[in-house]
């Protein structure tokens, strides 16, 4: 495998830096060289900060040489989704209609990563305003492609972030998730993705109606890497008024693999939608394997009804609000499907939005009652494997509610934490994921279950099928 050091875990990097057998500057240079070779095919990066990355890496070299690293993320490479401010670079949100004015200050998560010594390689691509579960749009010179198969999409909206981690560009990535935007691409790219409880990872600035749906979090190859990364990402920042109370020091220490003794539900159908036969077979097999390792898992019917009727006005109403901020003479520059949905959203009334807010509270109560009986719930992460890269989102063939978000969106509406763990491959060699959902504030439990599931299922990182695909690219 070419550039094998680009796939080292956080712990492996730390061990090499401490032993003096590798330096952050050499690892950063490998990642930057890999971007130059692979990204012209993947189209995953929006901005590459060569000078900033090398400067941060040299500073990390000095700390490790002096025996004073700032923590486990010191010298670890990371990418940032381009709807989050990175000082000195514009925040384009995947849209031609946004200004190219550089951000004046880092967003909270970027500031925390810098303080921890992480090396920011640049910013990753997303669909316009993160509106869909694919990654293409008017600002891009081509759709972002899936490293497992460049004819397939990596999903979205954190598609650039997931494609980078899968391709060995950055050890970790920051993504955010307002309907599945961490879990969908992590699933389609064979990675671990965690959407924490809403408010766990501070964010600024907050924008529009999605401000109470979106959670930031890590996309990684392993659960251990997600644990180390979330510990940093969740550190406090008083610019986020929605943030949860600050975590206590050491809140991510002492996590151990855990499945036995938990009450676990398996819901293969959620809100009226289930996966296709191939995904169902792979997820069923994974659940059965977990049972063989001592997990008590009860298959249950969907605890909720359909979502579209209650929440479509929330979705398109938020798009309308975003489009109203753009001068009308520039609307022709928008993704045509986004514009169509936003124009439909112009007719949404205040009463409809308030009804949707009440429905969110009711959905939250339904899941709160569900978790009185079950500690965790397992579902497929998505109904299908990665679609072709030219797929048109939210059309008759690939409907948002049926084909993309039925398993992920409910937990943005309720604010619950949820993760995706790779659990197998399709016959065509594309990844399939298992979603793990917990009650609010249960990130530790989800991560402990993730450690156990990861060990039981033994999904290799990087997987040999992915390695073969990547070697063909370079």
25, 107, 153, 181: the catalytic one is 181
Say whether 81 is catalytic. Answer: yes
**The tokens of 238 are what?**
């008083």
Alpha-carbon gap, residue 323 to 336, rounded angstroms? 12
Alpha-carbon gap, residue 78 to 105, rounded angstroms? 18
**The tokens of 99 are what?**
């200004």
Instruction: Classify 257 as helix, strand or coil.
Output: coil
Phi then psi for 172, rounded to 5 degrees? -140, 165
**The tokens of 395 are what?**
């059309």
Contact 345, 317 (CB under 8 A): yes
Phi then psi for 341, rounded to 5 degrees? -65, -40
DSSP character string of 285-325: HHHHHHHHTT--EEE---SS--SHHHHHHHHHHHHHHHHHT
Say whether 302 is catalytic. Answer: no
Say whether 157 is catalytic. Answer: yes
Calculate the CA 135 to chain-centre distance: 13
157, 215, 419, 442: the catalytic one is 157
Alpha-carbon gap, residue 154 to 387, rounded angstroms? 8
Q: What beta strand segments (E) does 287-443 contain?
A: 297-299, 376-380, 418-425, 431-438
Cα separations (Å) of 93 from 96, 195, 321, 398, 426? 9, 20, 15, 23, 32
Instruction: Classify 60 as helix, strand or coil.
Output: helix
81, 132, 195, 440: the catalytic one is 81
DSSP character string of 62-113: HHHHTT---STTTT-EEEEETTS--BTS---TT-TTS--PPBSS--HHHHHH
Look at the chain and count its residues.
474
Contact 148, 465 (CB under 8 A): yes
Instruction: Classify 190 as helix, strand or coil.
Output: coil
**So which residues are the catalytic ones?**
81, 157, 181
């Amino acid at each position: 495998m070419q550039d094998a050091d680009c796939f080292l875990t956080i712990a492996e990097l730390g061990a090499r830096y401490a032993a003096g057998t590798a330096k952050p500057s050499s690892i950063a240079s490998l990642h930057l060289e890999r971007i130059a070779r692979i990204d012209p095919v993947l189209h995953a990066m929006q901005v590459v900060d060569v000078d900033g990355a090398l400067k941060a890496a040299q500073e990390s070299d000095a700390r490790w040489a002096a025996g004073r690293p700032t923590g486990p993320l010191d010298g670890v490479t990371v990418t940032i989704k381009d709807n989050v401010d990175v000082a000195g670079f514009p925040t384009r949100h995947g849209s031609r209609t946004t200004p190219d004015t550089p951000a004046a200050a880092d967003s909270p998560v970027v500031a925390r990563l810098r303080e921890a010594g992480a090396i920011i390689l640049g910013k990753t691509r997303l669909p316009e305003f993160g509106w869909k579960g694919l990654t293409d749009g008017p600002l891009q010179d081509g759709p972002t492609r899936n490293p497992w198969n460049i004819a397939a999409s990596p999903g979205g909206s954190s598609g650039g972030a997931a494609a980078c981690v899968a391709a060995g560009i950055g050890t970790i990535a920051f993504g955010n998730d307002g309907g599945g935007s961490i879990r969908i691409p992590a699933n389609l790219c064979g990675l671990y993705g965690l959407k924490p409880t809403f408010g766990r990872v501070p964010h600024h600035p907050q924008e529009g109606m999605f401000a109470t749906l979106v959670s930031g979090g890590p996309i990684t190859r392993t659960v251990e890497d997600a644990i180390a990364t979330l510990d940093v990402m969740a550190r406090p920042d008083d610019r986020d008024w929605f943030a949860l109370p600050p975590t206590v020091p050491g809140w991510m220490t002492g996590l151990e693999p855990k499945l036995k003794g938990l009450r676990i539900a398996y819901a293969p159908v959620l809100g009226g939608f289930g996966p296709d036969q191939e995904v169902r077979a792979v997820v069923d097999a994974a659940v059965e394997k977990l049972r063989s390792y001592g997990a008590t898992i009860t298959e249950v019917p969907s605890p909720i009804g359909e979502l579209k009727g209650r929440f479509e006005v929330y979705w398109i109403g938020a798009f309308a609000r975003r489009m109203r901020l753009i001068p009308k003479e520039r609307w022709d520059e928008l993704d045509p499907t986004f514009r169509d949905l936003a124009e439909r959203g112009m007719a949404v009334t205040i009463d409809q939005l308030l009804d949707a807010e009440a429905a969110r509270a009711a959905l939250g109560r339904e899941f709160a009652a569900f978790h009185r009986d079950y500690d965790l719930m397992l579902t497929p992460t998505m109904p299908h494997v990665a679609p072709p890269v030219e797929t048109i989102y939210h059309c008759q063939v690939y409907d948002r509610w049926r084909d993309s978000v039925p398993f992920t969106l409910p937990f943005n509406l309720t604010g619950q934490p949820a993760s995706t763990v790779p659990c197998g491959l399709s016959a065509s060699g594309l990844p399939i994921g298992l979603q793990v959902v917990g009650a609010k504030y249960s990130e530790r439990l989800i991560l402990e279950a993730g450690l156990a599931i990861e060990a039981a299922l033994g999904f290799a990182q990087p997987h040999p099928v992915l390695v073969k695909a990547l070697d063909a690219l370079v």
